[in-house]
Amino acid sequence: MPRTTVHVCSQCGYQSAQWHGQCPGCEAWNTLVEERLAAGAGERRSGGSARGRQRLRGVGGASGTAQRAPARPLREVGSAPAPRMSTGVGELDRVLGGGLVGGSLVLLGGSPGIGKSTITNMVLGNLQQTGHRTLYVSGEESAEQVRLRAERLGPGALGVPVLAETDLDVVLDTIAAEAPQACVIDSVQTLRAAELSGAPGSVGQVREVAGRIMELAKAQGVAVILVGHVTKEGALAGPRVLEHLVDCVLQFEGERERPYRELRALKNRFGSTNEAGLFEMRQGGLVEVLDASARFVAEATRAPGSVVLAAMEGSRPLLVEVQALVAPSELEQPRRVVSGFDRNRLALVLAILSRHGRVGTGGADVFVNVVGGVRVDEPGCDLAVALAVASASCGIPLSGTPRACFGELGLTGELRWVGHPERRLEEAAKHGCGSVIAPRDSGGDACEVGTLLEALGEALPARERRPARAA
Ligand code: TYD
Ligand code: MG
């Protein structure tokens, strides 16, 4: 049987028929990835078709083998906006930039149990109900299991045709025959290309599976959502290699035990990557959370250690509660536990607090939590974390609770301007958080301060009269 695959080193391009742990070319370890030999590759390399050769000779006998293609100035290239299919899930449509685009590939990543199958089921159900042809390919669950889930998601979801299959060729043939307008592959790590010997989910397999699905999707104009798992470290495992290939990378985040889920775009060829959508997992599937700020502010405890952060989620303002707990430590190296915020950033905020805010936490365990399982990673969160820790450390609630704030902390203790202050202030005012502590030049009727120390004076006026507990 002729050889159909080859092992290629991803570092130096060395090719070998067998797999080697160490590349014979560059001596790097574990870099050989199995790939399918392109059909007719040899033929093309040795001179192309007779017609091609003749044409080339006609234009002056150039030694190249490829056919010349005309290049056009960009202004002559048509720019019709890509037609969109609304998924029926408003938050997802917004993150995608207005809906699914025909012929596009979307990679949806997230840890197990986060709700990837649920949301994709809902999307296909909605599309099916609005008269689109759909197909749900499940490599993980049997058709019966998919049905059990769909029963919870309403009548639309039960109308979706399902294929429980892991063989790539069967899946491709089915897509070609059914000609769906939208198709979900759940998950890309479970499909297997028969030509490659690697296990499903290996880099070679995942690349091959996605590459061939993409060819078909582009040719037929199918909008494909590829579901992918992420590793414990939070990176898209295996599918990481697909990030370049696909048009859009969506990440589903949140904690399994908590009901809130956040959907973010990490890459989007058809829209912004700033958008994020918020969902809640309920009995009947994922429900969009449209009044998140109101909910988080109402839930804020207003106790020592609680602060409302006026954050930006993409282009949308969002008020979230940041909580801190500072307790004497019994460990030589006190604990720094953080959820929903960057751990290194916490270390920095604690250092600035102790150096420029006279709040020492050296001998104490510090816990910081962004309530509701929401993750905030924008520079505007620094001040909220600092005020929450300071308030927890001296056991005094912030003045005028629920007190909102935002701003980035500089290494010299200054409070720095952050983007969209007017939208943050507007949102805070709308939800009853008056007198927001904000950096200078934020405008509106914010309580503007220039340094961390001034912010602490505003938020914890009583602190000056009491010694810090955990210093
Ligand atoms: P699932 O979508 O299967 O997660 P993933 O495909 O990302 O691994 O579902 C995750 C969890 O959601 C599962 O533990 C059950 C729960 N769930 C609900 O709470 N309500 C529902 O309506 C559905 C369908 C699932
Ligand atoms: Mg699943």
SS3 letters across 87-129: CCCHHHHHHHCCCEECCCEEEEEECCCCCHHHHHHHHHHHHHH
> How far apart (Å, rounded) are the C-alpha atoms in residues 281 and 224?
24
Q: Is the CB of 121 under 6 A from ligand 1?
A: no
What is the DSSP secondary structure assignment for residue 236, as one 8-state letter? Answer: B
H or E element at residue 319:
strand 316-328
> How far apart (Å, rounded) are the C-alpha atoms in residues 400 and 298?
15
**What is the block-wise mean pLDDT of the chain (471 residues), using blocks of 10 residues?**
80 87 88 76 41 41 69 85 88 92 92 92 95 95 94 90 95 96 93 88 87 94 92 57 88 81 90 85 88 88 93 88 95 92 94 94 93 85 96 92 92 95 92 90 90 94 61 42
Q: Are strands 162-164 and 134-138 parallel, antiparallel or unpaired?
A: parallel
Write out the residues surrounding ion ligand 2, Cβ under 5 A. 117
Quote the ligand 1 centre to 340 CA distance (angstroms).
21
Buried b (16+ CB within 10 A) or exposed e, 225-239: bbbbbbeeeeebbbb
Q: To test ligand 1's pocket by mutation, which of 89, 118, 187, 236 has the most ligand atoms within 8 angstroms of CB?
A: 118
Q: Is the CB of 283 under 6 A from ligand 1?
A: yes
Nearest to 289 by CA among 281, 297, 300: 281
Find all residues with CB under 8 Å of 144, minimum gap 6, and list them.
none
Find all residues with CB under 8 Å of 207, minimum gap 6, and list them.
33, 35, 241, 242, 245
Residue count of the chain, please give it.
Answer: 471
> How far apart (Å, rounded) are the C-alpha atoms in residues 138 and 190?
9
> How far apart (Å, rounded) are the C-alpha atoms in residues 102 and 85?
8
pLDDT of residue 303: 92
Quote the ligand 2 centre to 269 CA distance (angstroms).
25
> How far apart (Å, rounded) are the C-alpha atoms in residues 441 and 449?
9
Contact by Cβ (8 Å): 271, 97: yes
> How far apart (Å, rounded) are the C-alpha atoms in residues 471 and 455?
19
Quote the ligand 1 centre to 50 CA distance (angstroms).
57
Nearest to 389 by CA among 428, 345, 424: 345
Quote the ligand 1 centre to 246 CA distance (angstroms).
25
Bridge partner list, 136: 162, 184
pLDDT of residue 314: 77
Nearest protein Cα to ligand 1, atom 23: 285
Nearest protein Cα to ligand 1, atom 14: 113
Coil, helix or strand at residue 291: coil
Q: Give residue 175's identity as a one-letter amino acid code.
A: I
Quote the ligand 2 centre to 189 CA distance (angstroms).
11
pLDDT of residue 204: 84
Q: Is the CB of 157 under 6 A from ligand 1?
A: no
pLDDT of residue 238: 55
Quote the ligand 1 centre to 225 CA distance (angstroms).
17
Bridge partner list, 7: 16, 34
Quote the pTM value. Answer: 0.77
Q: Is the dihedral of CA 339, 341, 347, 353 positive or negative?
A: negative
Q: Is the CB of 138 under 6 A from ligand 1?
A: no
What is the DSSP secondary structure assignment for residue 228, as one 8-state letter? Answer: E
Q: Is the CB of 83 under 6 A from ligand 1?
A: no
Which structure tokens are listed for 465?
């009269």
Contact by Cβ (8 Å): 4, 204: no
Nearest protein Cα to ligand 1, atom 9: 115
pLDDT of residue 183: 96
pLDDT of residue 231: 64
pLDDT of residue 68: 87
